[in-house]
Structure formats: structure tokens, C-alpha cells
């Protein structure tokens, strides 16, 4: 057991990863080695049972039933550590709760809850813990990519009595110009991901949807932006749209 402990320490020396993840993995491996060593020592002292297979089978079945949640959470931690898992700082949604990951432990994952993704998205101040069994028995959404891209929406109401066609065309050109750089970067990243998974490449070109209502013409424009810049991008676009529409009103009056 001493030699195994020294070997484990040597193997984990100099590993480049999150310190908490390495410490947790080192503790798990040490615990497993010590458990195997303790069983071997008991067998050396008391000897092998006369019905080893039966004893081990009953013991294994009892432990599986009694520690089912612990076992599933333990293996769920390995899933979360994988390439498609989650990391500290990721923006995720687990069981309908969205937030930023602040801890990925051996048995539980902790989020700092935020508001709706489509709304403000500001932290609520609540820390939410989930048993890691959700990685196996349930599902989770990870909104974090290398660029943390997300779709946001701009809504503009064109009052009755105004010609909507030049305004709609102007809004579409304005949004395309303002988000051109982000759309190009997002498409480049998505193209790399689609090539690896052999799926169809997605487009980041802004989309526009027009809805006639009793109050006027509603224009909904969906565009790509970085998650941490979505509020600034939305405010900048709204300011540009208001200035454009104000200029059109003056032109109509003149």
C-alpha cells in the first residue's frame, strides 16, 4: 500500500489541469488503492472464505442497492470530467436551472444561478447544488463554446401609417453590418465543430421576421453575439435603429 501510494503521487506530479480536478482524482485513486490493500490484508490475516463467490456476490449486491445514488453520482463525475463535460466557469442548464458552474465535486456540481437566458441573465445570488447522477440519468445543456456564442433578438414596432418596407430593409442591413464580425467568427468555429462531428454547417447570418399587429408592424431580428456582450450589443443596435428611424421620420415630414 505504501508503494502504491508513492506511485500514485509520482504519476500525478506535474499534470496540467484544474487543481481541484487533479486533487479529487488523486484522492479517488488513493482511496481505491487503500481499499484493495485493506481487503488483501484481511484475506491474509483471516484467510479466504470457504464460499468466496457467494460472499462476494451477496456483498456486491447489498452494496449496489444501498449505495446506488452514491455509485451513480461517482460515475457521473467521470462523465463530467470528459471532453463533452462541464468545467468551472461554463454557463449551463441542469434540470431547468441555469447558471455559471462554480464547483464540480466528486459527488455534486454547484451552480451560481442566473436569470433567464433570453432576459437579463444576472446572478440571483442563490447557489444550487446537483448530485452528479444527472450526468448519467438525466441531461444538461452547456451553452459555453470557445467563443460563448448565443442568439439574441431585437424587436422593433413600426407605427401605423408609415411605409414599413424601407424601414425593414434598413434594419436588416444595419444589423448585418453591426454583427458581421461576430457572425464570421461564429461560423468559423461552427465549421470546425461540424467537420469533426460530420454535421451540416450552421449559418450565423441574422434572420428577420415580420408580424402585422393591431398596433403596427412588429419586426423581430435574430442575430449572433457573444454571451457576455449581449446586453451591450442589444443596446447599441437599439440606439442605431432609433437614430435610423428618427432620420426617416424627418425625411418623411420634409
DSSP string, 142-195: E---SS-EEEEEEEEEEPTTS-HHHHHHHHHHHHHHHTHHHHHHHHHHHHHHHH
98 and 120 in contact (C-beta within 8 Å)? Answer: no
- Cell numbers found for residue 159: 407605427
Q: CA torsion 239→245→246→247, rounded to 10°?
A: 110
Q: Which residues contact 236 (CB under 8 A, 6 or more apart)?
A: 178
C-alpha cell at 169: 430593409
- pLDDT tens digits, residue range 72-115? 888 888 888 887 788 887 888 888 888 888 888 888 899 888 76
What percent of the chain is helix, strand and coil (3-state, nearest 5)? 50, 25, 25
What are the C-alpha distances in Å from 214 to residues 5, 153, 193, 231? 75, 21, 44, 29
Query: What band does 241 get if pLDDT is binned at 50, 70 and 90?
Result: confident
Torsion angle of the four alpha carbons 15, 18, 22, 25, in this order, in degrees rounded to the nearest 10: -130
- Only one residue has cell 414596432, namely 157
Look at residue 122 in the predicted model and tell me its pLDDT: 61
**Which pLDDT score is estimated for 250?**
44
- Strand, coil or helix: 36: helix
Distance CA 210, CA 133 (A): 44
Residue with the three cell numbers 442548464: 93
Which pLDDT does position 71 carry in this prediction?
A: 79
Q: Which of 210, 228, 227 is nearest to 219 (CA)?
A: 210
**152 contacts 237 by C-beta, under 8 angstroms:** no
Q: Which domains does the chain have, with CATH numbers?
A: 149-253 (3.30.70)
| Cell reading at 236 | 447599441
What pLDDT shows up at residue 211?
87
Question: CA 233 to CA 145: how far, in whole Å?
Answer: 19
Q: Which among 155, 175, 170 is positioned nearest to 217, based on CA atoms?
A: 155
Instruction: State the pTM of this model.
Output: 0.50
User: What are the tens digits of pLDDT across the range 139-183?
Assistant: 888 877 555 777 888 888 888 888 888 888 888 888 888 888 888
Amino acid at each position: 500500500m505504501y508503494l502504491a501510494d508513492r506511485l500514485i503521487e509520482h504519476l500525478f506530479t506535474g499534470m496540467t489541469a484544474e487543481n481541484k480536478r487533479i486533487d479529487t482524482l488523486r484522492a479517488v485513486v488513493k482511496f481505491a488503492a487503500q481499499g484493495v490493500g485493506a481487503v488483501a490484508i484481511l484475506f491474509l490475516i483471516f484467510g479466504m472464505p470457504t464460499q468466496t463467490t457467494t460472499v462476494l456476490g451477496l456483498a456486491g449486491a447489498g452494496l449496489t442497492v444501498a449505495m446506488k445514488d452514491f455509485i451513480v453520482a461517482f460515475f457521473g463525475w467521470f462523465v463530467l470530467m470528459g471532453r463533452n463535460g462541464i468545467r468551472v466557469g461554463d454557463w449551463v442548464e441542469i434540470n431547468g436551472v441555469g447558471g455559471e458552474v462554480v464547483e464540480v465535486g466528486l459527488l455534486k456540481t454547484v451552480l451560481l444561478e442566473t436569470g433567464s437566458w433570453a432576459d437579463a441573465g444576472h446572478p440571483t445570488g442563490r447557489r444550487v447544488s446537483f448530485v452528479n447522477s444527472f450526468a448519467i440519468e438525466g441531461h444538461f445543456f452547456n451553452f459555453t463554446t470557445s467563443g460563448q456564442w448565443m442568439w439574441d433578438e431585437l424587436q422593433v414596432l413600426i407605427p401605423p401609417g408609415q411605409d414599413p418596407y424601407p424601414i425593414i430593409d434598413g434594419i436588416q442591413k444595419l444589423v448585418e453590418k453591426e454583427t458581421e464580425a461576430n457572425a464570421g467568427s461564429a461560423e468559423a468555429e461552427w465549421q470546425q465543430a461540424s467537420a469533426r462531428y460530420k454535421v451540416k454547417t450552421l449559418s450565423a447570418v441574422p434572420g428577420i421576421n415580420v408580424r402585422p399587429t393591431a398596433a403596427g408592424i412588429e419586426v423581430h431580428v435574430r442575430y449572433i453575439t457573444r454571451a457576455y456582450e449581449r446586453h451591450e450589443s442589444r443596446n447599441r443596435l437599439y440606439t442605431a435603429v432609433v437614430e435610423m428611424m428618427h432620420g426617416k421620420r424627418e425625411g418623411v415630414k420634409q
